[in-house]
Structure 1
Amino acid sequence: MTNEGSNTTAITLRVPNKDDGFRLHQLVAECPPLDPNSIYCNLLQCSHFADTGVAAEKEGDMVGFISGYIPPQQSDTVFVWQVAVHEKGRGQGLAKRMLKEIVGRQACQDVTHMETTITEDNEASWALFRSFARDMGAELKYHEHFEKGTHFGGIHDSEFLLRIGPFTKPASR
């Protein structure tokens, strides 16, 4: 667990639990343009995938969350599904601290790579993952993975798959 934050109030990072599912659903709703999932999906993210997720709290409020998992056929990779940081947690490097928290956990002891998907225009996410790659001493490669017309029926922008790794530095938190 990590306690860091602004000068006035610390942000605590912890493993999520099933009681966080509804809170996660509310957080995502307050962080446009994130795509919402069902509450049931959020419950699974907070229970089945808790060891590869992280909840960030400040004064009892959930101000950040990362959901992720280790794909069954890629035990060396953690896939980051969604990064949410509420305005109350922004400007403090919280998203990168949460990424490092996940890769530093026992559940990720064999993880040497991280993957995620990002739309081309999501500048904040591109900056986050480029910075994380630099901190981890890792290469970042990407390619179009889910295409707007083919996979999203033309209603969602294409998603690029980023692959970061192998990590050459520890995940110092």
Structure 2
Amino acid sequence: MNGIIFSKPCIENSKDIFNLIKRCDTLDLNSEYLYLLQCSHFKKTCGIAILENEVIGFVSGYFIPDKNDTLFIWQVAVDEKFRGQNIAIKIIIDIYNRNNINNKIKYILSTVSPSNNSSKRVFEKLADNFNTKIENKTLFSLNDFLDSHEEEIQYLIGPINN
């Protein structure tokens, strides 16, 4: 895919990101305000993929409080037309590369619902890319949610050696 630009999001991207998440059936849609915050306060740890001025991928992330060596990846979204091209992995690697000054990031952490096979594959490929291990455990069980949300399995990738 020539022409895809990977970068930090900006406020002007927040509406497109909101609409992208809305089109992804498996993801929880958050408020527009949250996506504005991600594109402003958390833009250094979020990333987008743009093709011909269209946001075709988005990854949100942040550093775990009190663990500045651990990048938490929250949401991963790729437009259906562009899936299967490792765009999500490329966005995460772009986030990693711009934030890993002096080997800052040693771990990448995320949670995945058991039915979300595409996200599982993304994190397995990411662990392979970094030539490191991946550990899984249940982070949030069904009883932790009010509604019919699936449990969330934690994926810990690392340690990442540069």
TM over 0.5: yes
Amino acid aligned to 1:159 = E
1:154 is displaced (CA, Å) by 4.7
Residue 29, structure 1, aligned to residue 22, structure 2: yes
Task: Say whether 1:136 aligns with 2:130.
Answer: yes
Identify unmatched segments of 5+ residues in structure 1.
Answer: none
TM-score by length of structure 1 reads 0.88
Question: Structure 1: which amino acid aligns with 2:105?
Answer: V
**Residues in 1 aligned to 2:56 and 2:81: alpha-carbon distance in whole angstroms:** 6
Percent identity of the aligned residues?
33
Residue 48 of structure 1 deviates from its aligned partner by 0.6
Indicate whether 1:79 and 2:35 are aligned. no
Alpha-carbon shift at residue 30 of structure 1 (Å): 1.2
The equivalent position to 1:108 in structure 2, one of 96, 100, 107, is 100
RMSD: 1.2
Structure-2 residue corresponding to 1:92: 85
Q: Confirm or deny: 8 A CA contact 1:52 1:108 kept in the other structure.
A: no
Instruction: Give 5+ residue unaligned stretches, structure 2.
Output: none
C-alpha distance in 1 between matches for 2:41 and 2:88? 21
Task: Determine the structure 2 residue equivalent to 1:44.
Answer: 37
Q: TM-score, normalised by structure 2?
A: 0.94
Moved over 3 A (4+): none
- The residue type paired with residue 31 of structure 2 is S
Contact map agreement 1:29 1:36 (CA 8 A) in 2: yes
* 1:146 to 2:155 alignment: no
Aligned residues: 160
Match of 1:125 among 110, 114, 119: 119
Mapped contact 2:26–2:116 kept (Cα < 8 A): no
Which of 54, 60, 69 is matched with 2:47 structurally? 54
2: CA distance, partners of 1:59 / 1:32: 24
Partner of 2:148, secondary structure, is coil
